[in-house]
Amino acid sequence: MKDKVIVITGASSGIGKALAFAFGREQASIVICGRNLESLETVGAELRQNGINTLCIQADVSQEEDVKKLIDATIRQFGRLDILINNAGITMRSMLLDVDPNVIRQLMDINFMGTVYATRYALPHILKTKGSIVGISSIAGFRGLPVRSGYSASKFAMNGFLEALRTELLHSGVHVLLACPGFTTTNIRFSALNKDGQVAGETVRDESKMMSAEECADHILNAVKRRKRDLVLTTEGKFVVFMNKWFPRFMDRMVYNSLAKEKDSPLKRA
């Protein structure tokens, strides 16, 4: 990673922040973006204090012009782009019958279209360096999760988009990694949107039993170094992906019963 230039979207907390430190420790130059300028600059200061060359750009990935400016600023500053990590994302928690459809549109705009915009504008530069495009997806991109239909849809869309892109770029030398962390200790559940699009402000799962963002980032760093095709993390995540492929009807019941145990779950316990 020495002297490579890495763009990480949604890097003001969680996995994005951990990735900035993981790649930065390998002597890469790091470009981070986020919607909250104060949080973004705080992370940027921490990175610089650790000797990491950092550029902070306030950007909302759901806005095409913001993303274009992010990539343009990276090229002006460093003259190249080696790795794009599409990490920005939000989630939701609501039954489809209750949710305002605009909540799902918002998830698609950030989680999916944000990936499309960033990848589209970064691609000409990554083709020159034969670098990497990384999508931070989810187990929900392989197995639809009840009460999180919009989130699952956005991650399924990301998975299909990056798989198609990988095939388009088959003879280009560009590496495409689809990383699926499973449940990880990040802020994403605390900022989950409810049926009306309001931030819930609390998690419904036991965060202490999850993989840390730092451990997740280390796995992703190693996968990029090895130019892996796919990365599915945690024992639970690997189990769900495997079982859903071969025993989907059984997994319908298992996933339902598991998520029905969450705090204040709208799912009825069997």
**CATH code, domain with 213:** 3.40.50.720
Q: What is the CA radius of gyration of the chain?
A: 18
Does 12 map to a domain? yes
Which of 11-15, 66-70, 193-197, 231-235 has the highest mean predicted lDDT (pLDDT)? 66-70
Phi, psi of 200, rounded to the nearest 5 degrees: -70, -45
Structure tokens at 83: 């790795």
Q: What is the distance between the alpha carbons of residues 193 and 108, in angstroms, rounded to a whole number? A: 13
Does 179 map to a domain? yes
Does 44 map to a domain? yes
pTM, entire model: 0.92
Does 142 map to a domain? yes
The count of structural domains within the chain is: 1
Region at 173 (left for phi over 0; alpha for psi -120 to 50; beta for the rest): left
Amino acid identity, position 5: V
CA distances from 75 to 23, 69, 82, 123, 255 (A): 18, 10, 11, 12, 44
Does 241 map to a domain? no
Q: 264 pLDDT band (50/70/90 cuts)?
A: confident
Q: Where is average pLDDT lowest: 56-65, 68-77, 127-136, 202-211?
A: 202-211
Q: In 3D, which of 225, 213, 255, 217 has the Cα closest to residue 237?
A: 255
Q: Quick one: what percent of the chain has pLDDT higher than 70?
A: 94
Region at 172 (left for phi over 0; alpha for psi -120 to 50; beta for the rest): alpha
190 has a pLDDT exceeding 80: no
4 has a pLDDT exceeding 60: yes
Does 252 map to a domain? no
Q: Output the pLDDT for position 182.
A: 75
Q: 88 pLDDT band (50/70/90 cuts)?
A: very high
Q: Give me the domain span that covers residue 183.
A: 5-235
pLDDT tens-place string over residues 141-157: 999 999 999 999 999 99
Q: Output the pLDDT for position 197.
A: 79
Does 256 map to a domain? no
Q: Output the pLDDT for position 188.
A: 65
Catalytic residues: 151
